[in-house]
A and B are shown apart, each in its own frame.
Chain A
Amino acid sequence: MKFTIATFASLLVTSTAFSPAAVRSSFSTGVSPLGAVARKDSYDITLLPGDGIGPEITAATKTVLEALCAKAGFTMNLKEALIGGCAIDAVNDPFPEESLKQCLASDSVLLACIGGYKWDKNPRELRPETGLLKMRKEMGLFANLRPAKVLPQLIDASTLKREVVEGVDVMVVRELTGDVYFGTPKGIDVIDGKILFQLYLPLQYVSSSFLI
């Protein structure tokens, strides 16, 4: 039985303003592979300002989104939640359960940035970056999209020659959850008195139907 995150979100009863997300397209419905919501007039968006310059760029982005909604005639309910260093300071958790619930009940999530010197020496489970990894895992995010588009107004900022970078518009789609970062077994072994770091490469093919 397939148990998707969307199903889980619809089972949650929250006291926050966001009701569970509208029907999303997915691989199983075959509408669009990217899990987008269908166009509608009102969206619930979670904003995660995070740390450092996060709050100020979030404020500037809010100004822009409010202007956009007024112009295009639709609504975005922008609601903030905690993640990263500020979450550690407030509730001792880099990605609190309440933030996760709100994210899952949203139509989409806009994150600014997290981290800072203050939390550098924390144990791993209390570091801002751990909150990010937890968010990606709990929300089932397996694809990272990174566009690199050279704008003509900023072409001189590139370190490469103008004729090489002019008009560059590349999108890198990166798998985010598998590969060497998460493989097991791994570790440091002592062999014949020498300490070695071994990266095991089990060459197995797994053909499966995947329970998410």
Chain B
Amino acid sequence: MIYSESEIERIARVAGDVASKRKGKLCSVDKANVLDVSQLWRDVVTDVITKEFSDVELSHMYVDNAAMQLIRWPKQFDTIVCGNIFGDILSDEASMLVGSLGMLPSASIGDSGPGVFEPCHGSAPDIAGQNKSNPLAMILSAAMMLKYDLDRPAEAQLLEDAVEAVLNKKLRTADIKQEGDGCELIGCAEMGDAVAAAVNEIEMKSTIAA
């Protein structure tokens, strides 16, 4: 397991920036009681956050405890930062709190150049071309793009509000429809149209300062 100081610094900066744009709480996850490289991780993250993001409240947690806490009381977390393998596992675990894979957006970013925004779900070949899929994860990925790459947070919020408005209207695609929920089953194209209509209806909040 290799991490250079500069690799840890740059991910700590991204995490600090993200946390300060959310609720200001950052939990760094490592296995510092066992792995020396984890101790380096802990030291470097502490250094970067305390020096460059004084408004962010930093805590540390061992990964085995973090995995338990995400199930036991996930509300205690705001932003979590961790390395590749721990992050692979914990981000999948966190996504199952939501329960609907078709609703999950994600972003991959660097420190310069464009980022890539994509839903977490796969290509679902079994339902491809049948107008059955759920476009909301990709629409929410577009909202992340507006927020993190294009400096348009108000428009990002409008998209997220439009998605919730459509859900409030009790429209569902097959993956999020549940028996007896009193909701109407619609297809992928219809869901896109519904969100577009909601975008037109909802009032956009004034530009939020970045």
- Chain A residues with CB under 8 Å of chain B are 4-6, 9, 21, 24, 26-28, 32-39, 43, 45-46, 50-54, 56-61, 63-68, 71-72, 74, 84-85, 103-104, 106-117, 135-136, 139-151, 153-154, 156-160, 164-165, 167-183, 201-210, 212
Contacts and interface: CB of A to CB of B under 8 A. Distances in A.
Contacts of A178: 2-4, 7, 83-84
B10 A27 contact: yes
B116 A135 contact: yes
Given A140-B112, A160-B71, 12 more contacts: A9-B113, A24-B113, A34-B18, A60-B193, A68-B155, A103-B114, A116-B128, A135-B116, A146-B106, A154-B103, A164-B73, A172-B87
Contacts of A148: 91, 94-95, 97-98, 104
A146 B104 contact: yes
Contacts of A28: 112
10 contacts: A6-B113, A37-B150, A52-B124, A53-B133, A85-B123, A107-B149, A108-B115, A151-B98, A176-B84, A210-B7
Contacts of B33: none
Chain B binding site: helix, strand, loop or mixed by DSSP?
helix
Interface string B18-35: 110010000000000001
Nearest to B121: A113
B113 A4 contact: yes
A107 B79 CA distance: 26
B199 interface: yes
Q: How large is the interface on B (under 10, 10 to 19, 20 to 34, 35 or more residues)?
A: 35 or more
Contacts of B37: 201, 203
Interface in B77-107: 77-88, 90-91, 94-100, 103-107
Contacts of B96: 158-159
Nearest to B5: A207
Interface of B: 1-8, 10-11, 13-19, 22, 35-37, 40, 70-75, 77-88, 90-91, 94-100, 103-125, 127-129, 131, 133-135, 137-139, 141-142, 144-145, 148-152, 154-155, 158-159, 162, 164, 167-168, 176, 178, 181, 188-189, 191-193, 195-197, 199-200, 204, 210
A143 B142 CA distance: 17
A145 B2 contact: no
The 9 closest A-B pairs by CB, nearest first: A174-B87, A60-B192, A52-B123, A179-B84, A157-B99, A60-B135, A67-B196, A210-B6, A53-B133
